[in-house]
Amino acid sequence: MNGTEVARTIREDVRPGVAAFAAAHGRSPGLHIVLVGDDPASHIYVRNKERAGTEAGLIVRVHRLPAEATVDQVLAQVQALNADPACDGILVQAPLPAGIGKHGTERVFDAIDPRKDVDGLHPHNVGLLVQGRAALKPCTPSGVIELLDRLGHPIAGKHAVVIGRSEIVGKPMALLLLQRDATVTICHSKTPDLKDTCRRADILVAAIGRPGFVTTDFVKPGAVVIDVGINRVDSRDAVVGFFGADHPRVADFDKKGSAVVGDVHPAVAQVASAMTPVPGGVGPLTIAMLLKNTLTAATARG
């Protein structure tokens, strides 16, 4: 399942809406990203979001704060963006530095104006999501739904199993699948009969954060497998174990010294009827849905 290609079509669908908004309002929709600290992966994600947003015609601004920023400083940044009429979407890049803490992180995310919450993580929007009437839905799981729809994989009546129960992926993924009339099972680190449960899935979504965790024995032949995981692997042996010694990904590892792999072992492709690759699967969809949410937020604010 080519997520890069589907993401491109979503971005193409967004572009005319952005142009129409700009023509009507004399300004382009504004996406503002708050980036706190030095996490290298976060910097790469933000750069990709900035590039994709700019290409789609959005005004994208990145507000950088140092790793030692206090909760109050991050809150002040969010409040300034809430008050800025040219800001339509606010994204606070997760994770915030350890010093901000769990409680501080919650305070920051709760401070975002729900109408500008393009990540769909504010409790107000999560409540609407539970009731099936959210306009701004979390980007990664809504990207997965778009992927299934656009590639013609039916959801209604299917048994979907989601591994992972995070606020950002697992829980909203399960809710969105339920809203589309799947029968949904949520698995997590304390699920005792994980493999047996996964083997009953018509649609299996892995959002765990463990390289290659889902092996062929988790998968019913013919299932659709969605790999949300993004894991950096520094061991050559692990990469060889994943792909085989002669695979181009091993040569790529030798150049870069690391590889990015999913939560699903590549051998699962032989059992599944369809499967998302990593990279090039769910990741690009997350960014495309962020752009879509920004346009939705801008249009709703008028």
In angstroms, what is the minimal distance from the CB of 133 to ligand NAD?
Answer: 24
* Cα radius of gyration (the chain): 19
270 counts as binding ligand NAD under rule CB under 6 A: no
130 binds ligand NAD (CB under 6 A): no
Q: Nearer Cβ to ligand NAD, position 194 or 267?
A: 194
49 counts as catalytic: yes
270 is catalytic: no
Q: Which is nearer to ligand NAD, 35 or 282 (CB)?
A: 282
Asked if 232 interacts with ligand NAD (CB under 6 A), we say no
Which position among 88, 117, 119, 202 bears the catalytic label? 119
Return the number of the residue (90 or 264) whose C-beta is nearest ligand NAD.
264
Size of site (CB under 6 A) for ligand NAD: 24
Contact present, 176 and 137 (Cβ < 8 Å) = yes
Query: What's the per-residue H, E or C state across the chain?
Result: CCHHHHHHHHHHHHHHHHHHHHHHHCCCCEEEEEEECCCHHHHHHHHHHHHHHHHCCCEEEEEEECCCCCHHHHHHHHHHHHHCCCCCEEEECCCCCHHHHHHHHHHHHHHCCHHHECCCCCHHHHHHHHCCCCCCCCHHHHHHHHHHHHCCCCCCCCEEEEECCCCCCHHHHHHHHHHCCCEEEEECCCCCCHHHHHCCCCEEEECCCCCCCECHHHCCCCCEEEECCCEEECCHHHHHHHHCCCCHHHHHHHHHCCEEECCECHHHHHCCCEECCCCCCHHHHHHHHHHHHHHHHHHHHC
Q: How far apart are CA 48 and CA 172, in angstroms?
A: 23
How would you classify the pairing of strands 203-206 and 183-187? unpaired
Nearest approach, Cβ of residue 231 and ligand NAD (Å): 5
The residue among 185 and 191 lying less far from ligand NAD, judged by its C-beta, is 191
188 lies in the binding site for ligand NAD (CB under 6 A)? yes
Asked if 231 touches ligand NAD (CB under 6 A), the answer is: yes
Among 209, 249, 274, 280, binds ligand NAD (CB under 6 A): 209
Place of tokens 């769910």: 282
> Is 181 marked active-site?
no
Residue type, 90: I
Q: Does 283 bind ligand NAD (CB under 6 A)?
A: yes
| 174 near ligand NAD (CB under 6 A) | no
Touching ligand NAD, residues 211-230 (CB under 6 A): 228-230
User: Which residue in the set 164, 172, 212, 277 belongs to the binding site for ligand NAD (CB under 6 A)?
Assistant: 164
Q: Which of residues 31-90 bind ligand NAD (CB under 6 A)?
A: none
168: contact with ligand NAD by CB under 6 A: yes
Asked if 165 interacts with ligand NAD (CB under 6 A), we say yes
For ligand NAD, the binding residue among 29, 170, 172, 277 (CB under 6 A) is 170
Using rule CB under 6 A, residue 289 touches ligand NAD = no
Q: Which of 190, 265, 278 is nearest to 230 (CA)?
A: 278
Nearest approach in angstroms of CB 172 to ligand NAD is 10
Which active-site residues does the annotation give?
49, 93, 119
**Using CB under 6 A as the criterion, which residues of the chain lie in contact with ligand NAD when the complex forms?**
140, 163-166, 168-170, 187-189, 191, 194, 207-210, 228-231, 282-283, 286
